[in-house]
Structure formats: structure tokens, C-alpha cells
């Protein structure tokens, strides 16, 4: 069996260190926030090349607090993409603002900057690009449009730990970045976790208060806040794992290079990493017009696969109130219909990549992928 991800083998490779870190946290009784969380914030901020990291309880909370810190609320509009995990859009709802969608660039699956200006209205307050699958959105034009229209940029970097765009790290380019440490993400907690990255002192101050009941100091609540604190154990685990993240990222990139090598010369449509991007391959998605068939066939051969994501957010029943319909975002809809994710995790061997690629190529030859 070739699994889709393999969290167990990674744990076993760092078991002693992680177990010791967890026990130490329990013995210290620093169960929520505390010294390991504070140290992790500094270490992850430095990894992202930003001044501040504010640790929270998950990636959705990170997006929510970034929006609130930017003073986004009722009556405001936030531009994002419908081809994303639902949380990008849910967080906009949490802030009571209205999500406004623009389509993706079909080459990269990220926001098409050429579509943004037509979506801007006098109510637009922010742009929220998603660095989907581990590849940064085309940030230079997005930042230029934001500057021209005086908009905040919040990067959804929940899938993009360590990704780079023209040498700049994900989470360091916009006003704020949001990261998730859900176990399956490139840097995963042993539970839930998230973080906001920013160079802005004021946003840092506000988000620190908002995550802990809006308190300036204990019981002095100056803002209507939340309980979005990161647990101490997660901070301890994440500190251990962060030391290995660059190595794991290079292993993911090597696995992607192996896939590309084994797929070379076939008609399988593999992911495209733009030359100025450091793609960190949270997800390795190919395209096919015969997805259900291919997934079933792979499954029978013991090869796991997934779909990220089968329904674009504008067509989800939960967001029908936005009034969008099928056909509104053709590239997002086509991506949702065609993408299929192959096994991708740092420990994936060249041999396993070859097994997967050989199986997929056989399917593609039997039934060529749509052009």
C-alpha cells in the first residue's frame, strides 16, 4: 500500500525528541501559551523572515484575527478565490464581511491577478490570495493592485510553509500571513495550531490581544476577544518539528522531481511550478478527465489518492446565499472536476514515485488525459 500521507513514520523518526518535549511541557504545567509557544513564535517568524509571529489554535483563527486586526467587518468586501479549502471563505464570514470571488490561473491554481480589478468596489477592503498546494500566488501584481486601491493583503499560507516567490517567503509579502499547523500540513502539530505572520507592530499588538480575550493585561479587556490560544504542548512539538522542516520540504521537492522524471514524455498533466516560485508541494495534483476511473483503478493497486477540492466554494450549498452559479468561475470549476492528488509526503521514496507514475501512465495511455 502506498499511503496518501504517512504521519506515523515521521513521528517515529523524531519520537524521542518529541516525547521528551511533550513530557517536559506537562511537567512544567505550561498548558496554554507559555515559554515553548513564545519561543516557537519567534522561531517561525524568523523562518518566514518577518518580525512577528502570533500563535493561535488553528489556521482558520489566524485568518479570522488577521481580518479583524485590519478592521474588516460588516459591509466590507474581501476578494478571494473559490478554488480553495472552505476555511479561507469561512474566515471572511466570521469577520462578517462578504467574500467576493475571482477565478484562478489554470496553470498554477492560484488567484489570477488579471481578474482582480473588475471585482473591486468602493466596499473592497482586502485581497486574500491562497498559496494553494504549496505554490505562492502571483504576488507582485496582487500587491501592486492592492497598493493602487489602498487594500490590505492577507496571504492564506496555510499550505505554504517555506514556499517562496521571487526569493520572498510565503507570509512575508502581504500585510499579514495565516498559517495552519493541522497535522497533515507541511508543518503539523500533534493536534491543532495556527499562526499569523506580520511585520506590522500594530497588527501584532491587536492580534495578541484578540487571541486571548482582548485583554491588554489580565482582566483588562480592551477588545471583544476570543479564546484562540495555542496549547503549550503544540508549541513544544512544533519547535522540535520546525528544525526538520527545511529537510522535509526538500524531500517533498525531490519527490515532485521524481514524479516529473517518471512522467516525462507521457501525456499526464503534472503540476506546473513557475520558475520564480519555490513550490513546497503540500499537494501534488495532476489533471484528468477520467478522475473517478483513475482513482478506483489506483485504489485497486494499493495506491491512495485524493481530491483537493471537488466542489469550488461558490457552488457549495453552505455558500449558496452569495448568489453565484455554475459557469461563473470556469477555471475553478474545471480544476475542481479534473484535479486528483497523488501520494505526497517527505518520506515518499523514488521507488514509490515510480510505482505511482507507472500506474498512472498506464491509465493515461488507455485513455488519454483531456488536452
Ligand X SMILES: *Cc1c(COP(=O)(O)O)cnc(C)c1O
Residues forming the site for ligand X (CB under 6 A): 58-60, 84-85, 87-88, 130, 156, 158-159, 180, 182, 192, 194
CB of 165 to ligand X, least distance (A): 16
Determine the Cα–Cα distance for residues 60 and 82; give it in Å rounded to an integer: 16
Instruction: Closer to ligand X by CB, 192 or 347: give it.
Output: 192
CB of 104 to ligand X, least distance (A): 13
Q: For ligand X, which is the closer residue by CB, 294 or 309?
A: 309
Give the count of beta carbons closer than 10 Å to the beta carbon of residue 366: 11
Residue 272 Cβ, how far from ligand X at the closest point, in Å? 19
- Torsion sign across C-alpha atoms 162, 167, 172, 178: negative
* Chain-centroid distance, C-alpha 63: 11
Taking the complex as a whole, the smallest distance from the CB of residue 94 to ligand X amounts, in Å, to 11
Cα(154)–Cα(95) distance, rounded to whole angstroms?
13
Query: Which residue, 130 or 298, is less far from ligand X as judged by CB?
Result: 130
CB 243, min distance to ligand X, A: 21
Smallest separation (angstroms) from ligand X to the CB of 131? 8
Q: Is the Cβ of residue 245 or residue 353 nearer to ligand X in the bound state?
A: 245
Q: Smallest distance, Å, CB 193 to ligand X?
A: 7
Least distance CB 28 / ligand X (angstroms):
25
Rank residues 177 and 194 by Cβ distance to ligand X and give the closer one: 194
The smaller minimum CB distance to ligand X, of residues 10 and 159, is found at 159
Nearest residue (CB) to ligand X, 171 versus 194: 194
What's the CA dihedral at 277, 306, 154, 148 to 10 degrees?
A: 60
- List C-alpha distances in Å: 62 to 42, 76, 312, 368: 16, 19, 22, 42
- Shortest Cβ distance from residue 182 to ligand X (Å)? 4
* Residues 6+ away with beta carbon under 8 Å from 369: 267, 268, 269, 287, 288, 289, 290
Q: Which residues, in sequence order, are CB contacts of 18 under 8 Å at separation 6+?
A: 11, 190, 237, 240, 241
Find the shortest distance in angstroms from Cβ 192 to ligand X: 6
Q: Which is nearer to ligand X, 84 or 172 (CB)?
A: 84
> In this structure, are residues 1 and 340 in contact, taking their beta carbons and an 8 Å threshold?
no
User: Nearest to residue 163, comparing CAs of 38, 277, 4?
Assistant: 277
Which of residues 160 and 353 has its CB atom nearest to ligand X in the complex?
Answer: 160
Which C-beta is closer to ligand X: that of 76 or that of 156? 156
The residue number with the shortest CB distance to ligand X is 59
Amino acid at each position: 500500500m502506498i499511503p496518501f500521507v504517512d504521519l506515523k513514520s515521521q513521528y517515529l523518526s523524531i519520537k524521542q525528541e518529541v516525547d521528551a518535549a511533550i513530557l517536559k511541557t506537562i511537567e512544567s504545567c505550561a498548558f496554554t501559551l507559555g515559554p515553548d509557544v513564545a519561543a516557537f513564535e519567534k522561531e517561525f517568524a524568523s523562518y518566514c523572515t518577518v518580525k512577528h509571529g502570533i500563535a493561535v489554535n488553528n489556521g482558520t483563527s489566524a485568518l479570522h484575527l488577521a481580518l479583524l486586526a485590519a478592521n474588516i467587518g460588516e459591509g466590507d468586501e474581501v476578494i478571494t478565490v473559490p478554488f480553495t479549502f472552505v476555511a479561507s471563505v469561512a474566515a471572511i464570514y466570521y469577520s462578517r464581511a462578504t467574500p467576493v470571488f475571482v477565478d484562478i490561473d489554470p496553470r498554477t491554481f492560484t488567484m489570477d491577478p488579471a481578474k482582480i480589478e473588475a471585482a473591486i468596489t468602493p466596499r473592497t477592503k482586502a485581497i486574500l490570495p491562497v498559496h494553494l498546494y504549496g505554490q505562492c500566488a502571483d504576488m507582485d501584481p496582487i500587491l501592486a493592485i492592492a497598493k493602487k486601491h489602498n487594500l490590505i493583503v492577507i496571504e492564506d499560507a496555510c499550505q505554504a510553509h517555506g514556499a517562496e516567490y521571487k526569493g520572498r517567503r510565503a507570509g512575508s509579502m502581504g500585510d499579514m500571513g495565516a498559517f495552519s499547523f493541522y497535522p497533515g500540513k507541511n508543518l503539523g502539530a500533534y493536534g491543532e495550531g495556527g499562526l499569523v505572520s506580520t511585520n506590522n507592530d500594530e497588527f501584532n499588538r491587536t492580534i495578541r490581544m484578540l487571541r486571548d480575550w482582548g485583554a491588554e493585561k489580565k482582566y483588562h479587556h480592551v477588545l471583544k476577544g476570543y479564546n484562540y490560544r495555542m496549547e503549550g504542548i503544540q508549541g513544544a512539538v512544533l519547535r522540535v518539528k520546525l528544525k526538520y522542516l527545511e529537510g522535509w520540504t526538500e524531500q517533498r521537492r525531490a519527490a515532485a522531481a521524481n514524479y516529473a522524471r517518471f512522467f516525462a514524455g507521457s501525456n499526464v498533466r503534472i503540476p506546473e511550478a513557475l520558475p520564480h516560485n519555490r513550490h513546497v508541494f503540500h499537494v501534488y495534483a495532476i489533471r484528468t478527465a477520467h478522475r473517478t476511473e483513475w482513482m478506483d483503478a489506483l485504489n485497486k493497486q494499493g495506491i491512495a489518492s485524493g481530491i483537493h477540492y471537488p466542489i469550488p466554494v461558490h457552488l457549495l450549498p453552505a455558500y449558496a446565499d452569495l448568489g453565484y452559479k455554475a459557469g461563473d468561475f470556469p477555471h475553478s470549476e474545471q480544476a475542481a472536476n479534473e484535479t486528483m492528488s497523488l501520494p505526497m509526503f517527505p518520506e515518499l521514496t523514488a521507488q514509490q514515485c515510480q510505482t505511482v507514475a507507472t500506474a498512472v501512465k498506464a491509465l493515461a495511455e488507455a485513455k488519454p488525459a483531456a488536452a
